[in-house]
Each structure stands twice: as C-alpha cells, then as structure tokens.
Chain A
C-alpha cells in the first residue's frame, strides 16, 4: 500500500501543508477580512431597508457562477499538489495552468459584473451597500491578482527538475485556497445575507 492510497495517514506522518509561515498569513489575513465583514454586517443591520434595496440590483446567479468557478480552480490546484506529490509534474503543471485559467474566468466575470452595475448607476460612492460591495470585491480581486503571481511561482517550480519543491507548491496552493474561501464568505455576505 503506497502513501497515496492511504486517505488518513497515521499521526507520525502528519505534516503541515506547505510552509507554516503561509498558514500564519492565512489566519492573519482571515482576521483582517473578518473585521471588514463584521463592520459591514453591523452597519447593514442598522440600515436594512437601504441595503436590501441596493442588494436587489445584484445578480445572484452570476455570483453563484463566480463561486463555482473559484471552487473549481481550488479543485484543480488541489489536484496539482497531489500530482506533484506523486512525481507527475507535467500533469501537475497542466493543473496549475488550469487554475490560472479559472482565475482569469473569475476575473472576467467580476469585471463584467462591475461594468453592469456601473451602467445601472451603482458606483463606489453611490450608496452604503455599494461602497461595501465594490470595496470587498475589489480587495478580493487584488488578492486574486496576487494569486496569479503565486500560481506562476508554482508553475515555475514544476517546470524544471532542478526545482520542484513540494513545500513551495503546497504553499502556493494554500494561498490560492485562501483566495477561494474568502470569496465564499464575501459571496454569502453580499449576495445572500438579508
């Protein structure tokens, strides 16, 4: 039985996925975003009618598609880590490119959504709800753009036998998953929360 076939390894082979340092970043950045979310929810609860009216202008299905696209990109980079762990670097590289591709699709959908909202007259300064909407989606998009650089690092690692640090590939994947789960929270807050 190979390690790959065991779904839960015994305690002694438990390892932190990627650099522990990246986990520090994940947890710290989540805290920062949580503070933004708490501010948003607190203010939203005090101006429910105005927020609801503005929120109704969002397109829920677009948000759902964006979420699924990002979830798929998370799936592909998780596969990339697994393929790399098993020495199948070309396949891993392909999965990493796929991740970046899904990231680009998310980026395009986000820009399309923004343009649509702006055409409806909703801008960063047009009201409380859209202040938060554009702020949260923009700061998240900045993280996605950084994510492209990070995935690029993973691809660079996988490209040459002189590199291929499994720890670095896992670190890059950890970052990308963070971008994904932050969006999961933002989607719930902006599109669904009442």
Chain B
C-alpha cells in the first residue's frame, strides 16, 4: 500500500478549498460572536444615544474583528465553489450549478459585507451625530437579518438538485434539510417590523432558533462536502459509497 503526497494528490485543490471553507466559517463564528459581539445582535429598540454608546463600547472588538473579515471574507468563495462543484458532479443539468453560483456570487453582500461596512463606518467616525450612528446601526443589523432572499432561493436550488440527482452526491435527507434551512430564511423576515418580542432581529424565534438551525445546517454541509471529496472519483456516474471508517482518514489518497 503506497501513500501519495499531497502534492501528487489529484484532490488537493478540493481539500484546499474545503480547508479554506472550514477556516472561513470558524473565523466568521469567532469574529461575529466573540470579538465584535455582533451576534447575538444589539437591541433593536435602542435610541440614537444608546446606539452611539454601543459603538463606543464595542469600538476595539469591531475594529479588529471586522478588519479580519474584510481581509479574509473572500474565502467564503471557496465554500460556494465547492458547493457549485458538488452540483456539477450531480446528474442534473448544469443550469443548477450555474444558477447557484450566480445567485451566491452576491451572497457575501447581505451575508456579511453590508453589516461590516455599516458598523465599521459607525466606529470610525465617533464624532457623528447620534441620529446618524443610529441609522448605521439599524442599517447594519436590518441588512444582515432581513435580506435572506439569496439564501432562500440558493437553498431551494441546491435542494432541487439533490432530490433530482442520480449520482448520490448527497443523501436525500440533506436535500430536505435544505428545505428546513430555506424556511428559516422566511421566518426571519418579520425582523423588519418588530423591535420587541420574539420577531425582531435578536428575537427568540427570528434569531435564536434560526441560528441553531443554521448552525446545524452549516456543520452538516461542511461534513457532507468532506464525504463527497473522499468519495470523488472524477467520473460522471454515481459516486461510490465509502465505509464509515474512511471518513476519519486524513486527506491523503491511499492507493489499494
């Protein structure tokens, strides 16, 4: 039994992309939840003075964290590329992969760029009037929580591709999980209307429950992408099944 080095491994680009995806989502979680405290979101009912104070209190965390996102945010493209690759590997029309790629090419904007720009602008000019700070605060959080159309349609495209696929790239239950995720994008939309209760951008239903589902969904698809890369045979037919123990192998090809 010989072991190929990573340099000769035909799957090295796939593993590189997968590694970048894992890095990006971990960075995203650490920055948004721990550094900047953007998640859980600030209170929607803040007055202009309170919003101004929020910017002051989070000044350093926001500055460092969002700078990291501006530098590394482009890595989100690897996740989109891998998913597009997975749809291309399916037996369905290439229209699905192209549609997914095009729609997700703008996903970074509502996904994190808008809120990063708005909140960075908020901390970098503290001398602005509280009304303007308040506007940036609301713009940031509303654009983050309330603009889920891209992810809704994208999830549905991926779901349809998976359910129609004959190459067994992903299990069918993951197709249905995409539907669950797509529905959470709908559930968050009342955040435009409410400032208190369970439906504002930090509400129990519109944020907390949604984030749990999204977290599960993200963890699952990252794991399934790994499984896909392990099973990839660079053909056009059904992907081979792989014994469970191989799942824990390191990303180095083992020739028989």
- Does the CB pair A39–B198 fall under 8 Å? yes
Whole-angstrom distance from the CB of A30 to the nearest CB of chain B?
11
Summed over the interface, the residue pairs from A and B with CB atoms below 8 Å come to a total of: 52
Within 8 A of A (CB), among B183-215: 183, 186-187, 190, 193-194, 197-199, 204-205, 209, 213
A-side interface mostly:
helix
- Does the CB pair B190–A124 fall under 8 Å? yes
Within 8 A of A (CB), among B221-256: none
Among the listed B175, B180, B190, B194, which residue makes an inter-chain contact with A29, where contact means beta carbons less than 8 Å apart?
A: B180
Within 8 A of A (CB), among B152-185: 171-173, 175-177, 179-180, 183
- Does the CB pair A39–B205 fall under 8 Å? yes
B-side interface mostly:
helix
Within 8 A of B (CB), among A22-57: 22, 24-25, 28-29, 32, 35-36, 39, 43
- Does the CB pair B180–A139 fall under 8 Å? no
Quick one: given A125-B194, A131-B197, A135-B190, are A22 and B176 in contact (CB under 8 Å)?
Answer: yes
- Does the CB pair B213–A25 fall under 8 Å? no
A131: chain B residues within 8 A (beta carbon): 194, 197-199
B173: chain A residues within 8 A (beta carbon): 20-21, 24-25
B180: chain A residues within 8 A (beta carbon): 25, 28-29, 32
Q: Which residue of A lies closest to B172 (CB)?
A: A21
Report how many residues on chain B are interfacial, defined by Cβ distance under 8 Å. 21
Whole-angstrom distance from the CB of A130 to the nearest CB of chain B?
12
Rounded to whole angstroms, the CA-CA distance of A43 and B198 in the bound complex is 10
- Does the CB pair B204–A25 fall under 8 Å? no
Q: Which residue of A lies closest to B194 (CB)?
A: A125
Q: How large is the interface on A (under 10, 10 to 19, 20 to 34, 35 or more residues)?
A: 20 to 34
Quick one: given A28-B177, A124-B193, are A36 and B171 in contact (CB under 8 Å)?
Answer: no
Q: Let me know if A82 is at the binding interface, CB within 8 A.
A: no
Q: Let me know if A146 is at the binding interface, CB within 8 A.
A: yes
Within 8 A of B (CB), among A119-149: 124-125, 128, 131, 135, 139, 142-143, 146
- Pull 29 A–B residue pairs with CB atoms less than 8 Å apart, ordered by A: A19-B172, A20-B173, A21-B171, A21-B172, A21-B173, A21-B176, A24-B176, A24-B177, A28-B176, A28-B177, A28-B180, A29-B180, A32-B183, A32-B209, A36-B205, A36-B209, A39-B198, A39-B204, A43-B198, A124-B193, A125-B193, A131-B194, A131-B198, A131-B199, A139-B183, A139-B186, A142-B183, A142-B186, A143-B183
Task: Write the residues of chain B forming the contact surface with A, with a CB cutoff of 8 angstroms.
Answer: 171-173, 175-177, 179-180, 183, 186-187, 190, 193-194, 197-199, 204-205, 209, 213
Given contacts A25-B173, A135-B190, could you give 7 more A-B pairs where the C-beta distance is less than 8 Å? A21-B172, A22-B172, A22-B176, A124-B190, A125-B193, A142-B183, A143-B183
